[in-house]
Protein backbone atom coordinates (compact mmCIF):
# COMPACT_ATOMS: atom_id res chain seq x y z
CA UNK A 1 0.00 0.00 0.00
CA UNK A 2 1.40 3.45 -0.95
CA UNK A 3 0.61 6.81 0.62
CA UNK A 4 2.05 10.11 -0.61
CA UNK A 5 5.31 8.63 -1.97
CA UNK A 6 5.68 6.35 1.05
CA UNK A 7 4.93 2.63 1.16
CA UNK A 8 2.95 1.16 4.04
CA UNK A 9 3.82 -2.44 4.95
CA UNK A 10 0.70 -3.79 6.66
CA UNK A 11 1.30 -7.52 6.23
CA UNK A 12 -0.62 -7.82 2.95
CA UNK A 13 2.51 -8.79 0.99
CA UNK A 14 3.26 -11.61 3.43
CA UNK A 15 -0.20 -13.17 3.27
CA UNK A 16 0.31 -14.06 -0.39
CA UNK A 17 3.83 -15.40 0.21
CA UNK A 18 4.74 -18.85 -1.12
CA UNK A 19 5.64 -20.76 2.03
CA UNK A 20 6.99 -23.83 0.25
CA UNK A 21 10.01 -25.13 2.12
CA UNK A 22 13.06 -26.08 0.06
CA UNK A 23 13.90 -29.77 -0.02
CA UNK A 24 15.39 -30.50 3.37
CA UNK A 25 17.85 -33.21 4.26
CA UNK A 26 16.15 -34.50 7.36
CA UNK A 27 15.21 -31.92 9.97
CA UNK A 28 16.18 -28.34 10.70
CA UNK A 29 16.56 -26.54 13.98
CA UNK A 30 14.17 -23.81 15.01
CA UNK A 31 17.00 -21.30 14.51
CA UNK A 32 17.56 -22.48 10.92
CA UNK A 33 13.82 -22.35 10.21
CA UNK A 34 13.70 -18.74 11.45
CA UNK A 35 16.53 -17.84 9.06
CA UNK A 36 14.54 -19.33 6.16
CA UNK A 37 11.38 -17.50 7.27
CA UNK A 38 13.15 -14.15 7.73
CA UNK A 39 14.73 -14.49 4.28
CA UNK A 40 11.34 -15.21 2.69
CA UNK A 41 9.74 -12.28 4.52
CA UNK A 42 12.56 -9.93 3.51
CA UNK A 43 12.38 -10.87 -0.17
CA UNK A 44 8.62 -10.22 -0.09
CA UNK A 45 9.11 -6.80 1.54
CA UNK A 46 11.46 -5.22 -1.03
CA UNK A 47 14.56 -6.66 0.66
CA UNK A 48 13.81 -5.00 3.99
CA UNK A 49 15.29 -6.63 7.06
CA UNK A 50 12.45 -6.48 9.57
CA UNK A 51 13.08 -4.72 12.89
CA UNK A 52 14.02 -7.03 15.73
CA UNK A 53 10.94 -6.10 17.77
CA UNK A 54 8.65 -7.27 14.93
CA UNK A 55 10.43 -10.62 14.67
CA UNK A 56 10.62 -11.05 18.45
CA UNK A 57 6.89 -10.44 18.84
CA UNK A 58 6.06 -13.00 16.13
CA UNK A 59 8.45 -15.56 17.63
CA UNK A 60 6.88 -15.03 21.05
CA UNK A 61 3.47 -15.97 19.62
CA UNK A 62 4.86 -19.11 17.97
CA UNK A 63 6.79 -20.31 21.01
CA UNK A 64 3.89 -19.59 23.36
CA UNK A 65 1.65 -21.75 21.19
CA UNK A 66 4.20 -24.59 21.32
CA UNK A 67 4.84 -24.20 25.04
CA UNK A 68 8.53 -23.43 24.44
CA UNK A 69 10.82 -20.59 25.43
CA UNK A 70 13.01 -18.84 22.85
CA UNK A 71 16.18 -20.85 23.57
CA UNK A 72 14.39 -24.21 23.57
CA UNK A 73 12.62 -23.44 20.30
CA UNK A 74 15.83 -22.45 18.52
CA UNK A 75 17.44 -25.78 19.47
CA UNK A 76 14.39 -27.91 18.64
CA UNK A 77 14.57 -30.22 15.61
CA UNK A 78 11.70 -29.76 13.15
CA UNK A 79 10.86 -31.68 10.00
CA UNK A 80 8.18 -32.20 7.36
CA UNK A 81 4.68 -30.90 8.07
CA UNK A 82 5.69 -29.69 11.53
CA UNK A 83 8.40 -27.45 10.06
CA UNK A 84 6.00 -26.14 7.41
CA UNK A 85 3.36 -25.40 10.07
CA UNK A 86 5.83 -23.45 12.21
CA UNK A 87 7.02 -21.51 9.16
CA UNK A 88 3.43 -20.60 8.27
CA UNK A 89 2.57 -19.62 11.86
CA UNK A 90 5.64 -17.40 12.16
CA UNK A 91 5.01 -15.57 8.87
CA UNK A 92 1.31 -15.16 9.79
CA UNK A 93 2.31 -13.75 13.17
CA UNK A 94 4.55 -11.17 11.45
CA UNK A 95 1.71 -10.27 9.07
CA UNK A 96 -0.70 -9.87 12.01
CA UNK A 97 1.81 -7.67 13.81
CA UNK A 98 2.23 -5.45 10.76
CA UNK A 99 -1.54 -5.21 10.34
CA UNK A 100 -1.81 -3.82 13.87
CA UNK A 101 1.30 -1.65 13.67
CA UNK A 102 2.36 -1.10 10.03
CA UNK A 103 5.81 0.01 8.98
CA UNK A 104 6.13 3.06 6.74
CA UNK A 105 9.08 2.88 4.36
CA UNK A 106 10.69 4.78 1.51
CA UNK A 107 11.93 2.64 -1.36
CA UNK A 108 14.94 4.40 -2.87
CA UNK A 109 15.33 3.18 -6.46
CA UNK A 110 17.12 6.14 -8.07
CA UNK A 111 14.01 7.56 -9.73
CA UNK A 112 13.74 10.65 -7.52
CA UNK A 113 17.36 11.57 -8.21
CA UNK A 114 16.90 11.00 -11.95
CA UNK A 115 13.96 13.43 -11.99
CA UNK A 116 16.23 16.16 -10.60
CA UNK A 117 19.03 15.32 -13.01
CA UNK A 118 16.85 15.12 -16.13
CA UNK A 119 15.58 18.69 -15.78
CA UNK A 120 18.36 21.28 -16.04
CA UNK A 121 16.36 23.98 -14.26
CA UNK A 122 15.41 21.66 -11.38
CA UNK A 123 18.99 20.52 -10.96
CA UNK A 124 20.34 24.08 -11.09
CA UNK A 125 17.90 25.17 -8.39
CA UNK A 126 18.73 22.13 -6.22
CA UNK A 127 22.47 22.78 -6.49
CA UNK A 128 22.03 26.49 -5.79
CA UNK A 129 19.90 25.86 -2.70
CA UNK A 130 22.32 23.28 -1.32
CA UNK A 131 25.31 25.55 -1.94
CA UNK A 132 23.60 28.52 -0.26
CA UNK A 133 22.72 26.42 2.80
CA UNK A 134 26.27 25.10 3.11
CA UNK A 135 27.93 28.51 2.56
CA UNK A 136 27.14 29.60 6.11
CA UNK A 137 29.87 32.30 6.08
CA UNK A 138 28.51 33.71 2.82
CA UNK A 139 31.96 33.61 1.19
CA UNK A 140 30.76 32.19 -2.11
CA UNK A 141 33.02 29.20 -1.47
CA UNK A 142 32.67 25.84 0.28
CA UNK A 143 35.11 22.97 0.79
CA UNK A 144 35.00 19.84 -1.36
CA UNK A 145 34.43 17.73 1.73
CA UNK A 146 31.11 19.48 2.28
CA UNK A 147 29.61 17.55 -0.65
CA UNK A 148 29.00 14.87 2.00
CA UNK A 149 26.91 17.34 3.99
CA UNK A 150 24.95 18.15 0.83
CA UNK A 151 24.00 14.49 0.44
CA UNK A 152 23.00 14.24 4.10
CA UNK A 153 20.92 17.39 3.72
CA UNK A 154 19.14 15.98 0.66
CA UNK A 155 18.30 12.87 2.62
CA UNK A 156 15.69 10.21 1.98
CA UNK A 157 13.09 12.75 0.88
CA UNK A 158 15.24 13.61 -2.14
CA UNK A 159 16.30 10.03 -2.79
CA UNK A 160 19.62 9.83 -0.89
CA UNK A 161 19.88 6.91 1.55
CA UNK A 162 21.67 7.29 4.90
CA UNK A 163 25.41 6.60 4.69
CA UNK A 164 25.04 3.88 7.34
CA UNK A 165 22.63 1.93 5.13
CA UNK A 166 24.38 2.63 1.83
CA UNK A 167 28.16 2.71 2.47
CA UNK A 168 28.78 2.73 -1.30
CA UNK A 169 28.20 6.49 -1.04
CA UNK A 170 31.63 6.77 0.59
CA UNK A 171 33.25 5.06 -2.41
CA UNK A 172 31.35 7.28 -4.86
CA UNK A 173 32.52 10.45 -3.07
CA UNK A 174 36.11 9.21 -3.03
CA UNK A 175 35.98 8.22 -6.72
CA UNK A 176 34.90 11.73 -7.73
CA UNK A 177 37.39 13.49 -5.46
CA UNK A 178 34.76 15.01 -3.17
CA UNK A 179 37.18 15.15 -0.24
CA UNK A 180 39.65 17.55 1.24
CA UNK A 181 39.79 21.26 1.94
CA UNK A 182 39.96 22.61 -1.62
CA UNK A 183 37.33 25.31 -2.05
CA UNK A 184 34.65 25.34 -4.74
CA UNK A 185 32.48 28.09 -6.14
CA UNK A 186 28.81 27.47 -6.84
CA UNK A 187 29.34 26.44 -10.48
CA UNK A 188 32.19 24.06 -9.52
CA UNK A 189 30.05 22.61 -6.72
CA UNK A 190 27.17 21.92 -9.14
CA UNK A 191 29.59 20.40 -11.66
CA UNK A 192 31.07 18.02 -9.06
CA UNK A 193 27.74 17.10 -7.45
CA UNK A 194 26.05 16.06 -10.70
CA UNK A 195 28.08 12.89 -11.50
CA UNK A 196 27.94 11.90 -7.84
CA UNK A 197 24.15 12.02 -7.91
CA UNK A 198 24.06 10.24 -11.27
CA UNK A 199 26.23 7.37 -10.06
CA UNK A 200 24.19 7.13 -6.85
CA UNK A 201 20.98 6.96 -8.89
CA UNK A 202 22.45 4.23 -11.12
CA UNK A 203 23.57 2.22 -8.07
CA UNK A 204 20.11 2.49 -6.49
CA UNK A 205 18.51 1.36 -9.75
CA UNK A 206 20.56 -1.82 -9.55
CA UNK A 207 19.94 -2.38 -5.85
CA UNK A 208 17.09 -0.59 -4.10
CA UNK A 209 17.49 0.60 -0.51
CA UNK A 210 14.47 0.45 1.81
CA UNK A 211 14.47 2.94 4.68
CA UNK A 212 12.02 2.71 7.57
CA UNK A 213 10.48 6.09 8.34
CA UNK A 214 9.79 7.20 11.90
CA UNK A 215 6.07 7.42 11.20
CA UNK A 216 3.32 5.84 13.28
CA UNK A 217 0.20 4.64 11.47
CA UNK A 218 -2.71 5.10 13.87
CA UNK A 219 -5.32 2.68 12.54
CA UNK A 220 -7.51 1.91 15.55
CA UNK A 221 -5.86 -1.43 16.41
CA UNK A 222 -4.80 -0.28 19.89
CA UNK A 223 -8.30 1.02 20.58
CA UNK A 224 -9.82 -2.31 19.54
CA UNK A 225 -7.48 -4.13 21.92
CA UNK A 226 -8.42 -1.71 24.70
CA UNK A 227 -12.14 -2.27 24.12
CA UNK A 228 -11.62 -6.05 24.16
CA UNK A 229 -9.74 -5.92 27.48
CA UNK A 230 -12.28 -5.43 30.27
CA UNK A 231 -9.70 -4.55 32.93
CA UNK A 232 -7.89 -2.03 30.73
CA UNK A 233 -11.18 -0.43 29.70
CA UNK A 234 -12.35 -0.21 33.33
CA UNK A 235 -9.11 1.55 34.22
CA UNK A 236 -9.83 4.18 31.56
CA UNK A 237 -13.37 4.70 32.90
CA UNK A 238 -12.03 5.21 36.40
CA UNK A 239 -9.48 7.74 35.15
CA UNK A 240 -12.22 9.70 33.35
CA UNK A 241 -14.45 9.64 36.44
CA UNK A 242 -11.55 10.72 38.62
CA UNK A 243 -10.93 13.67 36.33
CA UNK A 244 -14.64 14.52 36.57
CA UNK A 245 -14.44 14.56 40.37
CA UNK A 246 -11.21 16.57 40.41
CA UNK A 247 -12.68 19.82 39.19
CA UNK A 248 -14.23 19.19 35.80
CA UNK A 249 -17.66 18.31 37.14
CA UNK A 250 -19.05 21.43 35.52
CA UNK A 251 -18.22 20.09 32.05
CA UNK A 252 -20.89 18.28 30.09
CA UNK A 253 -20.40 14.58 29.42
CA UNK A 254 -19.16 15.08 25.85
CA UNK A 255 -16.82 17.95 26.76
CA UNK A 256 -15.39 15.92 29.66
CA UNK A 257 -14.63 12.90 27.49
CA UNK A 258 -13.18 14.98 24.66
CA UNK A 259 -10.98 16.88 27.10
CA UNK A 260 -9.75 13.61 28.62
CA UNK A 261 -9.03 12.01 25.23
CA UNK A 262 -7.23 15.05 23.84
CA UNK A 263 -5.00 14.97 26.91
CA UNK A 264 -4.46 11.20 27.26
CA UNK A 265 -5.60 9.75 23.92
CA UNK A 266 -2.09 9.04 22.66
CA UNK A 267 -1.67 6.49 25.47
CA UNK A 268 -4.88 4.76 24.38
CA UNK A 269 -4.11 4.56 20.67
CA UNK A 270 -5.45 7.88 19.39
CA UNK A 271 -3.42 10.33 17.30
CA UNK A 272 -2.16 13.42 19.14
CA UNK A 273 -4.13 16.55 18.25
CA UNK A 274 -1.19 18.96 18.59
CA UNK A 275 -0.20 20.28 15.15
CA UNK A 276 -2.20 17.54 13.48
CA UNK A 277 -5.09 18.79 11.39
CA UNK A 278 -6.23 15.27 10.47
CA UNK A 279 -6.53 14.35 14.17
CA UNK A 280 -8.52 17.51 14.92
CA UNK A 281 -10.90 16.74 12.07
CA UNK A 282 -11.25 13.18 13.37
CA UNK A 283 -12.22 14.42 16.85
CA UNK A 284 -14.71 16.86 15.34
CA UNK A 285 -16.31 14.13 13.23
CA UNK A 286 -16.63 11.62 16.07
CA UNK A 287 -17.97 14.06 18.65
CA UNK A 288 -20.35 15.63 16.15
CA UNK A 289 -21.80 12.17 15.61
CA UNK A 290 -22.09 11.27 19.30
CA UNK A 291 -23.57 14.66 20.18
CA UNK A 292 -26.39 14.02 17.73
CA UNK A 293 -27.08 10.75 19.57
CA UNK A 294 -26.49 12.12 23.06
CA UNK A 295 -28.77 11.10 25.87
CA UNK A 296 -28.36 11.72 29.61
CA UNK A 297 -25.94 9.36 31.35
CA UNK A 298 -26.79 9.72 35.00
CA UNK A 299 -25.23 6.54 36.38
CA UNK A 300 -21.82 4.99 35.95
CA UNK A 301 -23.00 2.10 33.77
CA UNK A 302 -24.60 4.49 31.28
CA UNK A 303 -21.50 6.69 31.30
CA UNK A 304 -19.34 3.63 30.70
CA UNK A 305 -21.42 2.61 27.65
CA UNK A 306 -21.22 6.15 26.32
CA UNK A 307 -17.40 6.16 26.54
CA UNK A 308 -17.30 2.74 24.89
CA UNK A 309 -19.45 4.04 22.03
CA UNK A 310 -17.12 7.04 21.56
CA UNK A 311 -14.02 4.81 21.43
CA UNK A 312 -15.72 2.39 19.02
CA UNK A 313 -16.48 5.27 16.68
CA UNK A 314 -12.84 6.42 16.83
CA UNK A 315 -11.70 2.85 16.07
CA UNK A 316 -14.07 2.58 13.10
CA UNK A 317 -12.98 5.93 11.66
CA UNK A 318 -9.29 5.10 12.05
CA UNK A 319 -9.68 1.67 10.49
CA UNK A 320 -11.30 3.29 7.45
CA UNK A 321 -8.92 6.28 7.32
CA UNK A 322 -5.69 5.78 9.27
CA UNK A 323 -3.77 8.85 10.41
CA UNK A 324 -0.01 9.13 9.87
CA UNK A 325 1.96 10.71 12.72
CA UNK A 326 5.54 11.84 12.14
CA UNK A 327 7.32 10.90 15.36
CA UNK A 328 10.25 13.21 14.55
CA UNK A 329 8.02 16.28 14.89
Of 306, 301, 289, 305, nearest to 252 (Cα)?
306
How many structural domains does the chain have? 3
Domain that holds residue 77: 6-107
Classify residue 213: in a domain, yes or no. Answer: no
Domain presence at residue 214: no
Give the per-residue pLDDT at 249.
53
**What's the confidence (pLDDT) of residue 9?**
95
Q: What is the mean pLDDT of residues 188-200?
A: 96
Same domain, 128 and 102: no
Angle between helices 52-66 and 80-100 (to 10 degrees): 130
How many CA atoms, within 13 angstroms, populate the side-chain half-sphere of residue 230?
0
Residue 313 maps to a domain:
yes
The answer to whether the beta carbons of residues 300 and 244 sit under 8 Å apart is no
Residue 121, in any domain of the structure: yes
Question: Are 92 and 166 members of one domain?
Answer: no
* Overall residue count recorded for the chain in this entry: 329
Q: For the chain, what is the mean pLDDT?
A: 89
Q: What percent of the chain has pLDDT over 90?
A: 71
According to the model, what pLDDT value does residue 4 have? 46
pLDDT at residue 110 in the model: 94
Question: Rounded to whole angstroms, how far apart are CA atoms 156 and 313?
Answer: 36
> Are both 65 and 15 inside the same structural domain?
yes
User: Residues 6 or more apart from 153 whose CB is under 8 A from it?
Assistant: 130, 133, 134
Which residue would you say has higher pLDDT here, 114 or 299? 114
Q: What is the pLDDT of residue 3?
A: 47
Residues 114 and 102 in one domain: no
Domain termination site, one of 49, 74, 107: 107
Question: Is residue 258 one of the residues assigned to a domain?
Answer: yes
Percent of the chain, pLDDT > 70?
A: 93
Whether residues 52 and 96 fall in one domain: yes
One domain for residues 119 and 188: yes
Q: pLDDT of 35-80, one tens digit each?
A: 999 999 999 998 899 999 999 999 999 998 778 888 999 999 988 8
**320 shares a domain with 225:** yes
**pLDDT score at 299:** 59
Amino acid sequence: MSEGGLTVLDGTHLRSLNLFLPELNGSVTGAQLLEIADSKASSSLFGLSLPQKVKASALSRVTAGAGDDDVTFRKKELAGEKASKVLSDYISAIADGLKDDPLVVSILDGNTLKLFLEDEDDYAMLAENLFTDLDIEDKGKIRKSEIRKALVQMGVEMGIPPFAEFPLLNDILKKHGAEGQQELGQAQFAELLQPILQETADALTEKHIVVIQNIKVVNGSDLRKLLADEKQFNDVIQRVLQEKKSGKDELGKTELIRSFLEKHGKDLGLPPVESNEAATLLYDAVFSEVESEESPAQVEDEFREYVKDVLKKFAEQLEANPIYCDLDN
